[in-house]
Amino acid sequence: MKLLVSVRSVEEALLVADGGADFIDLKEPGRGALGGLPITTIREIVGALRRHGGGLDISATIGDVAMHEGGRIAACVEAVGACGVDYVKVGIERVPQARSVLDALASSGWPIVPVFIADKGLELADVAHACALGFAGVMADTFDKRAGSLFDAVRMDELRRFIVTARAAGTMVGLAGALRVAHEPLLRALAPDFAGFRTAVCVGDRSSALDPQRLRTLVALMHRHAAAESGAPNH
């Protein structure tokens, strides 16, 4: 299980890159669950990370865009994708328009990761539809971070079915949603390909500054268990 950490600036991105994360996700936590950064900021962060080296995958969100705004979703995907990120994350709400949005995203030509907003549970038929469309990956996340974590919103058996559905299609799968260090055993039991964090590595709430010590603690925990599971020595 790999570690994804969300950042909002060049400084945070370089801190996380040097801190041992496996994925770097670009978002503005002060603007919502999948709050989008300005396009100029995304370009700056991508440029700084590419120059920095390390080859870490970079994802970026398009912002919290409603499902009925198909034209706006397409325009935001185009703008974010053109910044040179490896993955473009798009929130998918549990609404009737979800499948038509997924169909449009699949034909966009960009490496899309649909992020299923799970506050009201997961619509596994929509997840299966997404996986059949050949997306780069899928995620489950929550919108209201104040209401608790992903594990407060979705039962373990439902999350397990979400992961099994993605795995059966050969699709990369991740979990996020106000995750904390204390959730690591639950994540390990589910074994997604990656888990996304922000709140757990911040001084205060998810909109506050990253804490290098909390980042080190999380990275050490995640990597220690990854090494144990692979049988590799833990240095």
Q: Any residues with CB less than 8 A from the CB of 39 and at least 6 apart, and which?
A: 79, 80, 83
For the chain, report the end-to-end CA distance as a whole number of angstroms.
18
Point out the catalytic residue in the list 2, 27, 120, 145: 27
Whether 120 is catalytic is no
CA distance 83 to 47: 9
Q: Whose CA is closest to 208, among 64, 21, 43, 6?
A: 6
CA distance 14 to 139: 24
- The structure tokens listed for 196 are 């996304």
CA–CA distances in Å: residue 83 to residues 28, 41, 61, 118? 16, 10, 12, 28
Point out the catalytic residue in the list 2, 89, 120, 145: 89
Residue listed under structure tokens 């997604």? 192
CA distance 108 to 79: 12
Amino acid letter, residue 47: G
Q: What sign does the dihedral 172-176-180-186 (CA atoms) show?
A: negative
Whether 27 is catalytic is yes
Amino acid letter, residue 212: P
SS3 state of residue 156: helix
CA distance 31 to 199: 14
Residues tagged active-site: 27, 89
